[in-house]
Structure 1
Amino acid sequence: MNFFEHQSRARRNAAYRMLLTIGILLTPAILWTYVSSLIFGEVHWYEPLAVCGVMLPFVAAGYWYQIRKLKGGGSAIAEKLGAVLISDQPDEDDRWVLEIVEEMAIASGNPVPPVYLLDTDGVNAFAAGRTPQDSVIAVTLGAFYILNYEEMRAVIAELFSQIQNNDMRVDAQMTGVYSGIACLALLLGLAGGYTLIIGLGWAYLVFLAMSRVVRQRKYLADAAAAQFTRNPLSVASALKKIGGYEYGSVIGCRESEDFLQMYFAAPFEELGKRWVAPHPPLEKRIWRLDPDWDGEYPDVPPLESLMGDDEQADENLRRWEVLGAVGAAVSATRQTGEEPNAWDLYLARVALDSVCDVVTAAARHPDSARALIYRLLLSDDAPAREYQESQLQGCPDQEILHHMQALKGPMANLDRYLRLPLIDLCVPALKQLTPAQYKVLTDTIMSLCSVDAKTILTGWALVQILNARVPGRRQLLGLYTLSQRESDVTLVLGLFAAMGHRSDSQAELAYYRACDALPFYTAPRDDLDEEDTLKSLDKRLTHLRQLKSEEKETLMDAIAVCIETDGHITPEEIELMRAMADALDCPMPEGLETPSFETADAELLPA
């Protein structure tokens, strides 16, 4: 399967269908113009605008109503549907799902979202939220028992694709527009006669066109999941199990009707059979991923036979884990020699496996997560560390100090490159903090990093990363080009050049090589005053957040050139670059999504 070709085709088809939708939306104005020309023999330029002006309040009202439903973020939506936060449950059987989500998030450079469990028999999952920062992932109880590791990883990868593409926000916008159009069509229908038929027909065509846009986005998510896992048959295998399962992907929660598009598969049985359904038929999705499929669905055992504490249930579950994995396992022999596991997933797994269970468990509770972060920031220099520990004695929550003491042994000699992955793991727990507790956390981080002039910038970078992923930031409209923000670009590149290079000559070389990646001539590097730089950095960053999306990517590529000049990327450089990426709401450049690990066993690395 050519992942990139399928994604490109899905994007192109979605764009075409969006243009068709806009054309259908404007049909009343076009018809009015045509009828007016037949009756009166002339058309005034303001008549089509007047028709659009009548439509606009209805469209705006529906849009506002749908977007308002997302106001509480993904957690509010998941809780409304009855889902329960997995990390709040002590059952260790849930760990494998959390590990998959953590692995995918770290490997792709995304925030680790909270994970919910929805107590329903259908095999399904959803990603909810307005932005990547407030999104959550939820899996059903049926998916928990029916899907194997590879299939669950494929489903989670698809959900991350939906989060990255802001599918839920786009779907809510389109649903809002349709709601307004439907209300207007019903009002037109009050006149009776042909007006009712025309109004309802118009609304139906709008909904049909919008459903085709959503279907293409589902195909895009399927292809993205196949590309990310390098295993399209694992995605197809999950869909086949839904087709052969007695409950299918049915959710059974009527509140789901407000958020149909966010699900991995159709949440209602009758929905999947409709011609205007937002989810493509299972058969079409499977054949795109597995052209050699024979059309037969597997025999999936009843969910009740896999649940319970008795020996028979354990045996049934063990057999199903073996037999249910066969479909996905054959993917290695049916691919064209490509490695089934992506390299970035391997690095993420190395990162997680090199940390003891005590540390990863601490990342999942608000108190111990804060203790973990504080211990990560303790200096290797004994006098500086003693001063930091004396500052922590004034911590208002003494329970955090007990957790820090318990983590002292497990976190001894921890690789510094693991600091970012561990902070990523802490994000779901930190989202449970009150605003006052979060303010204490960020103030303490800056206080701990202020003991050494070399680490002040590191503290600032970590706070920026947390600010982007815990409370989240309001997105700013992209208005400017890099040339219009030249002074801000100069400061940032000079900062990275000075931070990661030992001598002025190395810093100068890194700066000018980074400038070569920019589409304009950049001024010579100035000597940076540390105090002035820290004061102005937040303001400069706000300016850069208003860059156009393609300009942000160019800036990140220039930064990557800057830090790679000397052939050695330090943890501090990675952290500062991640802070920039999160602040700009821009992905890390390819190859830098996950830092390299110096302690990785060389024998484990693929040739």
Structure 2
Amino acid sequence: MDFFAQQRIRTRRSRLLYGLFFLIVLAHIAVALGVVWLLLTIFTGGIYYWALVLVVVWIIASFVAGSFVEYRRLRAGGRAIAQRVGAVRLFVDSSQDAWEHSQGVAQQHTAAKKVRFSDRQIAVRDERDFPPVYRRYYEIAQQLAIASGLDMPILYVLPDEQGINGFVAGRHSQDMVLVVTQGALDKLSDEALYGLIGHEYGHILHGDATFNLQLMVVLAGLQILYDWSDPISHNSNRLISDNRYAGSIDSSVSQSALMPQRSIDSHARRTEAQTAIIDAVSVAPAESSYH
């Protein structure tokens, strides 16, 4: 297989998404015009072209407004994405402010802890002060950035995610971020972590991170129609729950649609742990009977 030829093909296909998004916008306009035309014909017996123009303006304005709002949300680039998913930044504080606290009126100062934890960042004075798991992550990311000739991205970690994954996002090198899950840092060997981070650096080199951010802005224009229909879907779910046959539907499905993603992940991890316990119990009698 010619890797670079396949890469060019995939790149062209990805860029076709832009055209497809705008074709979908035109399809929405065509469908809306058809529905309004039919309703006017049935209920008024005539066609009011000003109404058709208003429909076109309303749909185009909706897509533009949705994309503009998303663009404003993503002004910080990759950092906005990292904060949206609840990632915690690894921050080396190189400011001149002393890390110390006062003791009494005499203003006697003692050195503060070398690592400061918060919901938004893990801050240190020197990269060597990071806890070992994060220091390894920082050093590997730094080494690969030097080897690839890239500016080192801003490093984030998803502390509550035990799956093995990572992604990069950003508009340019100044706001490019690398986000890696805690599971990847805990479970991967050095070689595997090099591979994961190197793979994400490849997305930066080939412009995938910037391209994906642009697609998010365009997609937001389509998403706004779903957001408007969301109350309708909730009402529909409420009507279904009142139906006498609704008892046969698994209630966990309807509940999961309203749960935040972090709750869904936590529930999945609990289910996985319970399954492991059940498997261990079921295997034990089989082994004893075999012996």
TM-score range, shorter chain: 0.5 to 0.7
Q: CA deviation at 1:253?
A: 7.8
Question: Post-superposition shift, 1:172?
Answer: 2.5
Q: 1:186 to 1:93 in 2, by over 3 A?
A: closer
Q: CA deviation at 1:2?
A: 2.8
Aligned to 1:158: 199
CA 1:74–1:12 in structure 2 vs 1: closer, same or farther (change >3 Å)? closer
Q: 8 Å contact 1:127–1:137 — kept in the other structure?
A: yes
CA distance in 2, matches of 1:41, 1:15: 42
- Whether the aligned pair in 2 keeps the contact of 1:130 and 1:168 (CA below 8 Å) is no
Structure 2 residue aligned with 1:133: 174
**Deviation string, structure 1 residues 467-503 (Cα, Å, up to 9, x no partner):** xxxxxxxxxxxxxxxxxxxxxxxxxxxxxxxxxxxxx
User: Is the partner of 2:173 in helix, strand or coil?
Assistant: coil
1:123–1:143 CA contact under 8 A, matched in 2: yes
> CA separation of 1:30/1:159 partners in 2, compared to 1, >3 Å: closer, same or farther?
same
* CA distance in 1: counterparts of 2:267 and 2:167, whole angstroms: 17
Q: Residues 82-481 of structure 1: matches in 2 within 5 Å?
A: 82-85=87-90, 87=92, 88=124, 89-120=129-160, 121-163=162-204, 164-165=207-208, 166-183=210-227, 185=229, 254=261
Q: Distance in 2 between matches of 1:95 and 1:22?
A: 45
Structure 1 residues 148 and 19: CA distance shift in structure 2, 3 A: same
Determine which of 45, 55, 61 is the counterpart of 1:57. Answer: 61
Say how many residue pairs are matched.
200
In structure 2, C-alpha distance between the alignment counterparts of 1:21 and 1:129, rounded to whole Å: 21
Q: Could you say which residue in structure 2 is the equivalent of 1:414?
A: none
CA contact (8 A) 2:154 2:177 kept: yes
Q: In structure 1, what is the equivalent of residue 251 of structure 2?
A: none
Q: What is the CA–CA distance in structure 2 between the aligned matches of 1:83 and 1:109, rounded to whole Å? A: 25
Per-residue CA deviations over 1:103-155 (Å, capped at 9, x if unaligned) read 33233332111222332322122324343311221222210122233332332
Asked if 1:74 corresponds to 2:78, the answer is yes
Aligned partner of 2:12 in structure 1 is 12
> Deviation string for 1:394-431 (max 9, x for gaps)?
xxxxxxxxxxxxxxxxxxxxxxxxxxxxxxxxxxxxxx
Secondary structure class of the residue paired with 1:123:
coil
The residue identity in structure 2 corresponding to 1:176 is A
Alignment partners' CA distance in 1, 2:157 and 2:19: 38
Considering fraction of residues, name the structure with more strand. Answer: 2
Question: 2:2 matched to which residue of 1?
Answer: 2
Matched residue type, 2:31:
L
2:28 is equivalent to residue 28 of structure 1: yes
Query: Is the contact made by 2:133 and 2:185 (CA closer than 8 Å) also made in structure 1?
Result: no
With CA pairs under 8 Å and 6+ residues apart, which has the higher RCO, 1 or 2? Answer: 2
Shift in Å, 1:85: 0.7
Percent of aligned pairs with the same amino acid: 26
Mark the CA change 1:9 to 1:31 in structure 2 (over 3 Å): closer, same or farther: same
Q: Within 2, Cα distance between the matches of 1:129 and 1:256?
A: 27
Residue 175 of structure 2: SS of its match in structure 1? coil
Can you list the C-alpha shifts for 1:13-40, whole angstroms capped at 9, x where unaligned? 2234443332222223223555649958
After TM superposition, the score normalised by the length of structure 1 is 0.28
Are 1:74 and 1:130, in contact at CA under 8 Å, matched by a contact in 2?
Answer: yes
Aligned to 2:256: none
Which amino acid counterpart does residue 194 of structure 2 have in structure 1? Answer: R
SS state of the match for residue 137, structure 1? strand
The residue type equivalent to 1:27 in the other structure is A
Counterparts of 1:553-568 in structure 2, within 5 Å, are: none
Give me the CA root mean square deviation.
4.2
Q: Aligned pair in 2 of structure 1 residues 186, 142: CA closer, same or farther (>3 Å)?
A: closer
Q: Is the 8 A contact 2:153 2:178 kept in 1?
A: yes
SS of residue paired to 1:133: helix
Aligned amino acid, residue 88 of structure 2:
A
Structure 1 64/31 Cα, relative in aligned 2: closer, same or farther at 3 Å? closer
Give 3-state SS (helix, strand or coil) of 1:71's partner. coil
Shift of 1:77: 4.7
Structure 1 residues 177 and 32 mapped into 2: Cα distance closer, same or farther (>3 Å)? closer
Q: 8 Å contact 2:156–2:177 — kept in the other structure?
A: yes
Instruction: Report how far residue 4 of structure 1 moved.
Output: 1.4
Aligned mates of 1:118, 1:33 — CA distance in 2: 45
- Show structure 2 runs of 5+ residues with no match: 93-123, 234-258, 269-275, 277-291
Unpaired segments ≥5 residues, structure 1: 191-251, 258-266, 271-300, 302-607
> What do the CA deviations read for 1:447-482 (whole angstroms, capped 9, x no partner)?
xxxxxxxxxxxxxxxxxxxxxxxxxxxxxxxxxxxx
Q: Is the 8 A contact 1:84 1:117 kept in 2?
A: yes
**Structure-2 separation of matches of 1:25 and 1:153:** 42
**Separation (CA, whole Å) in 1 of partners of 2:266 and 2:215:** 18
> Take 2:192 and 2:51, find their aligned partners in 1: how far apart are those partners?
55
Question: Given the two structures, how large is their TM-score scaled by the length of structure 2?
Answer: 0.53
